[in-house]
Structure 1
Amino acid sequence: MTDDLAPIPARPEKPPRRRGPLIATVLLLLGVGVVLFVTLGDAALVFYEVDEAVEKRDELVEKRFRVVGTPLPGIVETRIGGESTVVFTFCAGGVYADVAHAGDPAELFQPGVPVVLQGEWVAGSLVEIDSLEHSANDGWFLLTDHMVVKHDNDYRTDKDRVTDVASCALKE
C-alpha cells in the first residue's frame, strides 16, 4: 500500500481540446463551398448563338449569358470609362449584334473567326458603333468582359460554318 493519502480521481483529466484543427477544417470546408458556388454559377450561364440572343433579348436583359458568333470586319479599338474596349459587330445566322468588349480581346481575335463572349445586353448606343461597317444599330449592344476564340482541331470544311459565314457577308 502507498503512504500517499491524496484522493485518486475517478477518471483521469482530459487534456484540453485543440481548436486549431477544428478551425482549419471549418475554413477548408468553407473555401471548398465558395469555389463550388462560383464555379457552378459560371457553369449555369446559358449559351446562345447571336440570332437566338437577339430574339430573346427581352428575357435576357440584366442577365449574364454566353453568346457565340463571328466578328465582322471593321473592329474599333477605343477607351470607354478609362478601360480599353474593342467595339465590333457580331453575326450568326445572318443576324447582327453590336458588341463593346471591355478589356483585352483574346489573342487570336480577328474578323471571321468565331468567338464566345460573356456579358449582358445594354440599352443604348455608343459613338463608336456608328463608325462600324456592318453595325446592327438597333439601340442595343452587348457589353462583354470575357472572350474566348472558338476553335478546334478539325480544319475540314464544315458546311454549316460556310453557310453561316456567307449569311454574315464574309468571305472564308
Structure 2
Amino acid sequence: MIVSENTFYIIIGVLVLIAIGVYLYFRWKGKSVSGSWITLIMLMVVFFVYLYTPRKLVVESCENYTVEVILLPTQIEDVNTSYGYKSYVVNNTSNTLSFEYVYYGNNVPKDNEVSVFIEPGEVKSVRGSKIDYILSNPDSNIRVKGKGATKTVLSCDVEQ
C-alpha cells in the first residue's frame, strides 16, 4: 500500500492524537500510571513507524518528481520493498541519476556511505528515508553545531 507523503503525515498525526486521547481517558478514569505507559508505548510505535517506513521517489524528469510512502511491503517493478531506513528511487527519465553524500565541517565518509548511480528505467534502494536535496544543488556551506553534518543529494546527470 503506497500513499502520498501528505497522507502519511496525516496518519501519523491521527495516531499521535489517539495516543494523547488514551492518556487523557486513563487520567480521567483515575489510572494515570497505566495511561502514561500505554501512551508512551504508542508514541514509541508511532516514532518507529515514522522513522522506518520507506519512501518511494519517482523521478519523471530532471525537474519533476513525486514522493510517496510505502506503508505495506509491495513490489515496485522487479524490486521487493521492505521496511527500513531507506528510500526507493524510480528513474523514469532518459538520464542517469546520481545519489551522493555531501560532507560539511569535519565530517568524513563512513563505510556504508557510497554513491549510487541509477540508470534510466531502473529502481534502486538508497540509504536514508529522507533525501535532503532532490534535483537541486546542495548549499556550499550550512550552519552546524559540533563537528559537522552529512547531507544527501539526488541529482540528474547529463543525458547519455
Q: TM-score range by the shorter chain?
A: 0.3 to 0.5
Question: With structure 1 as the length reference, what TM-score do the two structures score?
Answer: 0.31
TM-score by length of 2: 0.33
Q: Max radius of gyration: which structure?
A: 1
